[in-house]
Chains A and B, each alone.
Chain A
Amino acid sequence: MKEIWVYIETFNKKVKKVSLELLTKANELSQKLGAKVVAVYIDKHDLDDTISKYGADKIIHLYSKDLQIYNSQIYTDALYNLIKDNRPHILLIGATSIGRDLAPRLAAKLNTGLTADCTQLDLDEDGLLLQTRPAFGGNIMATIICPEHIPQMATVRPGIFEAKKLEKIPEIEKIEFELEKDCITKTLEIMEKNSLLKYITESNVIVAGGRGLSKKEGFDLLRDLAKELNGTIAASRAAVEAGWAPQEIQVGQTGKTVKPKIYIACGISGAIQHIAGMKDSKCIIAINKDKNAPIFKIADYAIIGDVYEIVPKLIEKLRTLKQ
């Protein structure tokens, strides 16, 4: 039976949301292909419980007691050994900073193709994976295939697919492996980025600010709104460049790609480079003074007006709603 593998990324005893999103997608594809879904992860800890809630026919847990943190070579080699023996048909990996470090190295070692940052995955009549991705800064989409090599490998950005729970009772395989003691790069330390900023690609609600806020304090207002909606804040590049917000929360071509349930753009004009990072949000609300602002073209709700009038009112109404 053909197998679709999903690499499950873990950090701090937690499973990355994107990995669960990929499990859901793998289950969808497996029905068309008549394939088995296999989740594979590398961790010192046992995380089978979380993973099995999202539907896997089999979980492979690679572990080693000396395992500390992700390392390109160790992880590539461990997965390579497993994959060359099992020959899965498809391998999906989250396009996180770790996934984008691991996947190309692994594909090179496996001598197979790898499609980066897919936003759509489908199968053709012959069971070939149709991998659609943006290139040229989101100006063009390309559908890519890998017809003569397996696994067909793709990375997918967080938030592109939805993670849905699916009860399956997986077969579980535990494999201990030896760490190569002499690893050439060594992690010395992990530094938290500003802990006030919830990781924006994991958030359901994002309130983003742009140059239209015209001052740093505007972000305090947006933070209040985000708090009411259990969300987090983000920024356009113009706002980052003005020094009102850190680069880590920039959305767009050169920032993060996000797909929250609600994206509220406040004083953002909607340049193509910004839109590239948020256009797939489920519901886009734009607040802008200029009725011709391009952001309105991709918005579900357009509010023509001043951020400093609309947002405080919105916070107030949301607060009274809660009481």
Chain B
Amino acid sequence: MDIVVCIKQVPDTTELKIDPITGTLIRKGVPSIMNYDDKAALEEALKLKDQIGAKVTAISMGPEQAKEVLEEALAMGADDAILISDKVFSGSDTWATSNVLSEAIKKIGFDVIFTGRQAIDGDTAQVGPQIAQKLGIPQVTYVRKLTYKGGKFLIEREMDDYIEIVEAKTPVLFSVVKEANNPRYLDVRRLVDICKRDPIQVWNNNDLKIDESIIGLKGSPTKVKKTFTPVFEKETKIIEGSTDEKVQTLIKELKEKHLI
């Protein structure tokens, strides 16, 4: 079984700071990590490999720096890794990103594709389903449990208010939630070896030959018109007094505002 796992390198959003003067994100010094859901997706792929002996290829679209997450993927147990990197890809929205990733996946060949449910920076959860549509294959999103038996997948999907049990066959795309598993640690010896050998292939658009009108900033149907930092302006009323008084005052306020 040929498996492709899509991995995005993301800034650790819990470490983000806002420049108080310009109101923009300060990304300098913010650690880059493998997106959480993607790590869970990789773990599901590696579990399949352990079970039935699949070949797992990790891919990432991004700058040279994104090699770091691919090295991590290899050290966790992926067989191959490809960085998809070209200036003409930069500024892609999800539609354009999925054009690039689906072309790359086609070139690699696949039975199963894994993505994370959602990247913690762009936060859209759109890339997975868009890859599936572009490759004309079914998708099973929000995978929280996956088993493979007798040529079929049995999946538990985490929906808003219920769990859906789905059956699927290859070819298929799974988007995985991070609650699905506890990803294995990387193998340090493997990592040292990987850093020495530098086995990661880099593909640019000479390899993929995608029409430039459907990729990058220019080829993206959505445009970011402006960005700003959210302001929470609220007048907080501090309710004081004894416990009794506090509760009385609160109820009175809520009644006056017709909230209760």
Q: How far is A151 from B120 in the complex, measured between Cα atoms in Å?
A: 27
Do A185 and B167 form a contact, CB below 8 Å, given A105-B129, A193-B161, A297-B234? yes
Do A303 and B239 form a contact, CB below 8 Å, given A187-B166, A190-B162? yes
The reply to whether the CB of A181 lies closer than 8 angstroms to some CB of chain B is no
Do A146 and B225 form a contact, CB below 8 Å, given A73-B138, A184-B169, A187-B166? no
The reply to whether the CB of A314 lies closer than 8 angstroms to some CB of chain B is yes
A100 touches B125 (CB 8 A): yes
Mask of A184-197 contacts with B, CB within 8 angstroms, 1/0: 11111111110000
A301 touches B250 (CB 8 A): yes
Per the 8 Å Cβ criterion, residues 227-260 of B in contact with A are: 227-230, 232, 234-240, 243-244, 246-248, 250-251, 253-254, 257, 259-260
* B160 cross-chain contacts in A, Cβ below 8 A: 96-98, 199, 201
Do A145 and B142 form a contact, CB below 8 Å, given A134-B123, A187-B166? no
The reply to whether the CB of A125 lies closer than 8 angstroms to some CB of chain B is no
The reply to whether the CB of A76 lies closer than 8 angstroms to some CB of chain B is yes
Partner among A104, A183, A190, A254 whose Cβ is within 8 Å of the Cβ of B125: A104
**Which of B13-21, B78-86, B195-203 touches A?**
B13-21
Do A297 and B94 form a contact, CB below 8 Å, given A193-B162, A303-B246, A313-B247? no
Mask of A111-146 contacts with B, CB within 8 angstroms, 1/0: 111111100000000000010001111111111111
The reply to whether the CB of A309 lies closer than 8 angstroms to some CB of chain B is yes
B141 touches A101 (CB 8 A): yes
B133 touches A298 (CB 8 A): no
* A184 cross-chain contacts in B, Cβ below 8 A: 137-138, 168-169, 172
B227 touches A302 (CB 8 A): no
Partner among A112, A183, A273 whose Cβ is within 8 Å of the Cβ of B14: A273
Q: Count chain B residues whose beta carbon lies closer than 8 angstroms to a beta carbon of A.
A: 77
Per the 8 Å Cβ criterion, residues 159-183 of B in contact with A are: 159-169, 172, 178-179
A187 touches B121 (CB 8 A): no
Count, A-B residue pairs, CB within 8 A:
232
The residue in chain A whose Cβ has the minimal distance to the Cβ of B98 is A108
The residue in chain B whose Cβ has the minimal distance to the Cβ of A316 is B247
Q: How far is A183 from B247 in the complex, measured between Cα atoms in Å?
A: 57
The residue in chain A whose Cβ has the minimal distance to the Cβ of B239 is A303
**Which of B44-52, B66-74, B103-111, B215-223 touches A?**
B215-223
Per the 8 Å Cβ criterion, residues 273-298 of A in contact with B are: 273, 275, 279, 282-285, 296-298
B236 touches A301 (CB 8 A): yes
* A309 cross-chain contacts in B, Cβ below 8 A: 243
Say how far B23's CB is from chain A's closest CB, in angstroms. 9
A134 touches B230 (CB 8 A): yes
Say how far A30's CB is from chain B's closest CB, in angstroms. 22
* A186 cross-chain contacts in B, Cβ below 8 A: 166-168
* B120 cross-chain contacts in A, Cβ below 8 A: 136-137
B251 touches A143 (CB 8 A): no
Q: How far is A185 from B173 in the complex, measured between Cα atoms in Å?
A: 11
Partner among A105, A253, A297 whose Cβ is within 8 Å of the Cβ of B132: A105
* A101 cross-chain contacts in B, Cβ below 8 A: 129, 139, 141-142
* A108 cross-chain contacts in B, Cβ below 8 A: 95, 98, 129-130, 133-134
The residue in chain B whose Cβ has the minimal distance to the Cβ of A285 is B250
Q: How far is A158 from B18 in the complex, measured between Cα atoms in Å?
A: 28
The reply to whether the CB of A87 lies closer than 8 angstroms to some CB of chain B is no
The reply to whether the CB of B188 lies closer than 8 angstroms to some CB of chain A is no
Say how far B195's CB is from chain A's closest CB, in angstroms. 30
The reply to whether the CB of A261 lies closer than 8 angstroms to some CB of chain B is yes
The reply to whether the CB of B93 lies closer than 8 angstroms to some CB of chain A is yes
Per the 8 Å Cβ criterion, residues 1-30 of B in contact with A are: 11, 13-14, 16, 18, 25
The reply to whether the CB of A221 lies closer than 8 angstroms to some CB of chain B is no
Do A302 and B232 form a contact, CB below 8 Å, given A190-B162, A193-B161? no
B247 touches A314 (CB 8 A): yes
* B246 cross-chain contacts in A, Cβ below 8 A: 303, 305, 310, 313
Q: Give the interface of A toward B (CB within 8 A).
A: 69, 72-73, 76, 96-98, 100-101, 103-105, 107-109, 111-117, 130, 134-149, 183-193, 199, 201, 229, 247, 253-254, 261-262, 272-273, 275, 279, 282-285, 296-305, 309-310, 313-314, 317-318, 321
Closest 8 CB pairs of A and B: A113-B221, A113-B222, A137-B13, A116-B124, A104-B126, A108-B133, A104-B129, A108-B130
With A117-B124, A142-B224, A313-B246 given, can you name 4 additional A-B contacts, CB distance below 8 Å?
A96-B160, A104-B130, A142-B225, A283-B254
In the complex, 13 of the A-B residue pairs with CB atoms within 8 angstroms, ordered by the A residue number, are A72-B132, A72-B141, A104-B124, A108-B129, A139-B25, A185-B166, A187-B164, A188-B154, A188-B165, A191-B164, A199-B161, A297-B236, A303-B239
